[in-house]
Structure 1
Amino acid sequence: MCGIVGCFADRAFLRNGSDVLARMVEAIGHRGPDSAGVSLGERAALGHARLAIIGLADGAQPMAIDEPPLWISFNGEIFNHVELREELTARGHRFRTASDTEVILHLYAETGADCVNRLNGDFAFALWDARRQRMMLARDRMGVRPLFYTWHNGALLFASEIKALLQVPGTSVGIDQVALDQIFTLWAPIPPRTPFRDILELPPAHVMLIDGDGMRIRRYWQLAFPDRDEQPDTRSEADLAREARALLDDATRIRLRADVPVGSYLSGGLDSAIVSALAARHAAAGLRTFSITFASAEHDESAQQAEMVRALGSRHSAVSCDEADIAAVFPEVVWHTERPVIRTAPAPMYLLSRLVRNEGYKVVLTGEGADEVFAGYDIFKEAAVRRFCARQPSSTRRTKLLGRLYPYLHGLQQLNAETRAACFGIGSDALDDPLFSHRLRLRSTAGAKMFFSADLRDALAGYDATEEMASLLPRDFRRWHPLHQAQYIEATWLLPGYILSSQGDRMAMAHGVEGRFPFLDHRVVEFAARVPPGLQLRTLREKHLLRLAAADLLPPAIAARPKQPYRAPDSRSFAGPSTPDYVAEMLSPRYVREVGLFNPASVERLAMKSQNLQTQGFRDNAAFVGILSTQLWHAIFTGATSKPGSIGHADTRRTDPRVHRREFPLWRHSA
């Protein structure tokens, strides 16, 4: 796991490129604190900040092979590198290192850009083909590892994080207003947009090739489901459960490959418990586990965590998190997410990864992805019940089912059937709407846009983020089962755009920690996509097949536990006498007016409600956190003249990677 930077440019740009590339590497030194390097050529340059996990002694990057002349800067891990190395060696390839990075180079030498189809891993890499004078950028299938790019004075610049691109003199830091609207509707921008105008994201499962003929971007993998009328898999659920278990076990096994110890996150829920239990069976020296506990009872799962620790016999550490902790680190969170967020959930993950690193670990397994892949989210059950109720909207028997959806939301249980039906929008959405499953959530989130300024509203007039998302759905989408449609939306938009980014990669790599995701092994994802919907969601029992597959791994109480979504205290984290000074300054009418994105009077009223602990609804919570994070984002990244000195993100930039520089002699053979 590392950070990469680089460029494809002419000689004039690269003549003075060494210092710029070094600054880019230094800006993301937190991703790779172990070593760093920059290599320069006549048409391209690569830089690297290394987190040493595989091939500790000989895996320094940028890395090259001589024949054909290829160079690479690689972020991530290739989990099937052992098998690929054996195949390549049998075909005559000779390896100089024990690193998985070199495997990519040799595989590319055989198959060119199609090498990505053979890789089982989480990756983003830049590969320079000196013979073809071609740069290749690639990103993993599910979007675990990030990769951003921009054009500047005719040069293509790219990096693992946007803050590296901002080290290039003259790079634009203006806000993309459409991306902001998407965040306040969909929780994340639609790739290739980012909140930064003119800085783009390479989408997951895509490859970019750039050479003298121009730039081409293509998708190499697509999540797909069978037609709803297609003959389903006729195997028994027991057979399917056995296959699911075997695939998950192997996905976990190969994600334990490392030359450093590997730990595991343990939330107290089903998914991380399964991963930890499988990992414990392969960890000869015992398993190390880590978790977050909360001071607030509604968010805390420490009792379940303790039960799993006893069952696993793991050595365990936990970090306790309260509202004040969230507020204290929130500016750091925004610095690392590089985008506004509408929830505080990334903040506890930031504290957890700091604990992991302080305990001497660089790698952890997590249960992320199980909800998308095995239909675990409440929104899937909600959509099914809403469809059921919509067919007979006057039936009180049907609407009573709505009360069973969110047992942890006590206020919902107090509503009568009619009010509950209105809250869930029964009858308000067409059943053939491709976004039916998510319309309720999208409307609730977009309600926060009532705080947008008049100027921003005018600039966005006529734009609808949900319609853009709908226009990008696959051609076959309407032929899929409704559950599969909902899974696709979650896995394609929210998972890479928010969960794997703001809560995942950025929070872990802020402290040089690599997260690994067995549930996102593409073999597991492709298998689960073929499972009949009735075996994924059995009435209101989520993850039915996964529970069968893991029945013997877990204590009964954990195995039967219903979904408890990961949440953290939101607006109330910024209320009370211990509220940091930056909150009032960021939300002051003066600064809100200066930034110009929100209505100062409306924000002032919202802030007052927050201080009185009145912002408990979803819309107000999302609005408060979204506005505060946007104001922080603006102050941190635009260099605003009124930028407060109290937001304190400077520590994250205190890096000294001791960048080594070298020339690329292999590149000089061609003009």
Structure 2
Amino acid sequence: MCGIAGVFASRKSQPIDSQTLVNMAAMMNHRGPDNYGYCNPADMGVGMSHARLTINDLNESRGRQPFWLDGGQTMCVHNGEFYGYQRIRTDLAAQGVEFISKSDSEILPTLFRHCGINETLKQLRGEFAFSLYDEREDCMYLVRDRFGVKPLYWTQTQNALIFGSEVKVILAHPDVTPELDSEGLFHQLIQVMVPGTTAFKGIQQVEPGHMLRITRQDGRLNVETHKYWDMDFPVIGTRDTKADDYYIDGVRRELLEAVQLRLNADVPVGCYLSGGIDSCAILGLASQYSQEPLKAFTISFDNADYDESEIATEMAESVNADQEILTLNADLLYNNFARTIWHTERTIYNTLAVAKLMMSQQVRHVNYKVVLTGEGSDELFAGYPAFRQDMYLHGMEGLDADQAIEWRRSLETSNALFKGAMLPKEEYASADLDSKIGFTPSCLQPWLGCSDHARQLIHPEHRKNLVDYEPGTAIASKLDSHYLTQRHPLDKAQYVWIKTMLEGQILTWGGDRVDMANSMEARPPFLDHKLAEFAVQVPPHMRIRGSKEKYVLREAMKGVLPETLYKREKFAFMAPPAHTDDAKWKKLKALLNKYASRDQVEAAGLLDADYLESLVTKQESDATEVSDKVQIDAILNHALGVMILHHHFIERDIPTYAYEQAQSMGWVV
């Protein structure tokens, strides 16, 4: 686990500055504090750098990247983990291949040399992002894992393509000017992002399951985008009809293997543990493979409506886990809000991101570097209330009258805390999403429903650029019709969530960015692509049965989960919003005064100061409905986040700051 960066110039004769590469690595020292390396051969027009967190092969000299192999024909840097790499190494060794390290990363250039990029990608299993340069074709590849667990950003300047694990790494290059563009700003205020985009003008993400192939021609760069994997739900009518046990046994088998693979490390591995069945299932399965009690890390909130620690403790005790509970209050959540935005590089609607950052800090405090997590379960097995709503509205086949009544009742009464955030406060429809999908997925409606607020909150100069802009249209344009046509409504809803909320939120400010802020690697077994390829075959009625979500997973985990958890309804994991607690509201207002005063807002030219003040006033009114307060709380967090982004990345001279960071660590070349 680590951070990667690099530059690919438009001409081979263009030198790549060594100190710039080192500065880029220094900007992500939190991702890899154990070592660093860089490589920029003369007359190649390519350079890469790497900040290393040692997980596999703890020998600092052997595992150092970039790898520069094949007599100088292949250069690569890798972030993440390749699982099952031992088998690949054994197979290659039988063909006479010699390795210089015990690192999983070294299989990448070796596989590429033997079978090319397409066959290599088929053999890679895990969470990863990498760059690979092939001198024979004078070609650079940028590749991101199938779900986007690991980040990879890129931009083009006049003379080069620049990439890195974080936006700040790219901004450390002196040829990149930081700017928040109108569309990116708009999406920061409504939470949901257009796949592949960022808040920053000209800076994009390699999309999950995609690779970029970059070549040089006559002093110009040619960038081709290729998809190598996607969630391929079967066309309606093509699923084989199997007995329930086939799917239950299959989920258990595939998840067991995914967990077992992710326990492999040269350092201790712990587990995140909430009160949901996802993390509890992971802890239960992992405990079966461990001879010693596993370490379990739990977040506790000072609000009983949002706290799950009691149920998590029941699970920890059932497997004799050594549980660490971190209790978070207003001071801890809001005192670390700005630090969290530095790492997420995008706004957050809820302080859950701060809570996750504080938890990863606690994990490192007790000398752990790796945890298994439960992310991805809801995406594979339809665990969110929005999925149940879409299946009820658009996929009622298979339900009798009593089931339909029960389902409607459950939708009206469950998860009331999250109305306006997790569930739409009122219906919102996008014509282009309706056209491509057949309906506007419920998971997008709460955020698209904030569009009117966002248009009024955005600065008039940016508002002019958005007169004809429709966020649903922009999102629809990035969804692949091939994987939506003739699919069941539940399949469509899950596919859209995976392409938007999973990658842009859960795996970003709820995952990698706040985990790696404290040099901690999180491994999500549910996002193993072999498990996912089995999960798409599970019929809708086995994912949601009546009003019970994740039915197939619950049945697969019988005997692993305590009875309380087996029967428990899905509860969205969120931190208590500011409006629920006077202390939290005062802390949020203090942050708004610090970063988003009228003078600061007007000087930045990003937000409308009058409308921001009106939202604060409305939030303090007793006449404002609770569902409105939930929505306004999210919008205020986004507005605060926008101003902190401006503070961190626009007002600050990032290249100079990066060099100062390198100097402070002795990374001067």
Give the letter for the 1:639 counterpart.
E
Which residue number in structure 1 is paired with residue 615 of structure 2?
606
Which residue number in structure 2 is paired with residue 56 of structure 1?
58
Which residue number in structure 2 is paired with residue 22 of structure 1?
22
Which residue number in structure 1 is paired with residue 169 of structure 2?
164
Deviation for aligned residue 1:145:
0.6
Measure the CA separation in 1 of the matches of 2:478 and 2:585: 44
| Secondary structure at 1:592 match in 2 | helix
1:638 aligns with 2:650: yes
Measure the CA separation in 2 of the matches of 1:508 and 1:598: 30
Which of residues 127, 137, 140 in structure 2 aligns to 1:135? 140
Which residue number in structure 2 is paired with residue 225 of structure 1?
233
Change (3 A) 1:559 1:13: farther
Cα deviation, 1:374-421, whole Å, max 9, x if unaligned, reads 11111111223344899xxxx9x9599255455342698xxxxxxxx9
Which residue number in structure 2 is paired with residue 567 of structure 1?
574
Deviation for aligned residue 1:441:
2.4
Deviation for aligned residue 1:2:
0.1
Which residue number in structure 2 is paired with residue 586 of structure 1?
595
Which residue number in structure 1 is paired with residue 438 of structure 2?
433
Q: How many matched pairs?
A: 639
1:145 aligns with 2:150: yes
| Secondary structure at 1:333 match in 2 | helix
Output aligned runs, 1:492-571, within 5 Å: 492-571=499-578
Give the letter for the 2:18 counterpart.
S
Identity over aligned pairs, percent: 31
Cα deviation, 1:416-472, whole Å, max 9, x if unaligned, reads xxxxx9955499997973424446324433343132233322210111111122233
Which residue number in structure 2 is paired with residue 452 of structure 1?
458
Output aligned runs, 1:301-380, within 5 Å: 301-380=308-387
Measure the CA separation in 2 of the matches of 1:428 and 1:475: 16
Which of residues 196, 199, 216 in structure 2 aligns to 1:192? 196
Change (3 A) 1:248 1:269: same
Output aligned runs, 1:230-245, within 5 Å: 230=238, 232-245=239-252
Give the letter for the 2:647 counterpart.
A
Change (3 A) 1:281 1:439: closer
Which of residues 103, 109, 115 in structure 2 aligns to 1:105? 109
Cα deviation, 1:562-597, whole Å, max 9, x if unaligned, reads 101011123347755555744213232222222223
Measure the CA separation in 2 of the matches of 1:107 and 1:16: 27
Which residue number in structure 1 is paired with residue 294 of structure 2?
287
Deviation for aligned residue 1:314:
0.8
| Secondary structure at 1:568 match in 2 | coil
Give the letter for the 1:626 counterpart.
H
Contact 2:297–2:323, Cα closer than 8 Å, also in 1: yes
Measure the CA separation in 1 of the matches of 2:245 and 2:12: 64
Which residue number in structure 2 is paired with residue 47 of structure 1?
49
Which of residues 66, 69, 85 in structure 2 aligns to 1:65? 69
Change (3 A) 1:177 1:399: farther
1:465 aligns with 2:471: yes
Which shifted more, 238-247 or 585-594?
Answer: 585-594
Measure the CA separation in 2 of the matches of 1:637 and 1:36: 24
What residue ranges of structure 1 are gaps of 5+ in the alignment?
413-420, 644-648, 662-671
Change (3 A) 1:166 1:491: same
Measure the CA separation in 1 of the matches of 2:413 and 2:558: 24
Measure the CA separation in 1 of the matches of 2:161 and 2:471: 28
Cα deviation, 1:71-120, whole Å, max 9, x if unaligned, reads 21110000121121122222222222111011111111112211112100
Give the letter for the 1:71 counterpart.
M
What residue ranges of structure 2 are gaps of 5+ in the alignment?
none
Measure the CA separation in 1 of the matches of 2:500 and 2:86: 32
Contact 1:33–1:657, Cα closer than 8 Å, also in 2: no
Give the letter for the 1:175 counterpart.
L
Give the letter for the 1:515 counterpart.
A
Change (3 A) 1:45 1:426: closer
Measure the CA separation in 1 of the matches of 2:441 and 2:141: 38
Contact 1:444–1:619, Cα closer than 8 Å, also in 2: no
1:215 aligns with 2:223: yes
Which residue number in structure 2 is paired with residue 257 of structure 1?
264
Measure the CA separation in 2 of the matches of 1:103 and 1:283: 27
Which shifted more, 139-148 or 468-477?
Answer: 468-477
Change (3 A) 1:271 1:218: same
1:625 aligns with 2:637: yes
Contact 1:576–1:611, Cα closer than 8 Å, also in 2: no
Contact 2:381–2:553, Cα closer than 8 Å, also in 1: yes
Contact 2:3–2:31, Cα closer than 8 Å, also in 1: yes
Change (3 A) 1:159 1:211: same
Change (3 A) 1:410 1:109: closer
Contact 1:451–1:623, Cα closer than 8 Å, also in 2: no
1:246 aligns with 2:250: no
Deviation for aligned residue 1:47:
0.4
Contact 2:428–2:448, Cα closer than 8 Å, also in 1: no
Cα deviation, 1:478-527, whole Å, max 9, x if unaligned, reads 31000000000111111011110111000000000000010000011111
| Secondary structure at 1:89 match in 2 | helix
Measure the CA separation in 1 of the matches of 2:413 and 2:645: 33
Give the letter for the 2:66 counterpart.
P
Change (3 A) 1:283 1:92: same
Contact 2:392–2:407, Cα closer than 8 Å, also in 1: no
Contact 2:410–2:547, Cα closer than 8 Å, also in 1: no
| Secondary structure at 1:598 match in 2 | coil
Which shifted more, 144-153 or 516-525?
Answer: 144-153
Which residue number in structure 2 is paired with residue 664 of structure 1?
none
Cα deviation, 1:276-314, whole Å, max 9, x if unaligned, reads 111111122221110100001111001101101100101
Measure the CA separation in 2 of the matches of 1:5 and 1:505: 16
Deviation for aligned residue 1:129:
1.7
| Secondary structure at 1:507 match in 2 | helix
Contact 2:578–2:588, Cα closer than 8 Å, also in 1: no
Give the letter for the 2:348 counterpart.
V
Deviation for aligned residue 1:607:
2.3
Measure the CA separation in 2 of the matches of 1:254 and 1:16: 38
Cα deviation, 1:628-668, whole Å, max 9, x if unaligned, reads 11111111110179x9xxxxx99x9699555486xxxxxxx
- The alignment yields a C-alpha RMSD, in angstroms, of 3.0
Measure the CA separation in 2 of the matches of 1:266 and 1:49: 29
Which shifted more, 113-122 or 445-454?
Answer: 445-454
Change (3 A) 1:238 1:400: closer
Which of residues 590, 605, 608 in structure 2 aligns to 1:596? 605
Change (3 A) 1:387 1:506: same
| Secondary structure at 2:305 match in 1 | coil
Per the normalisation by structure 1, the TM-score is 0.89
Change (3 A) 1:411 1:10: closer
Change (3 A) 1:272 1:552: same
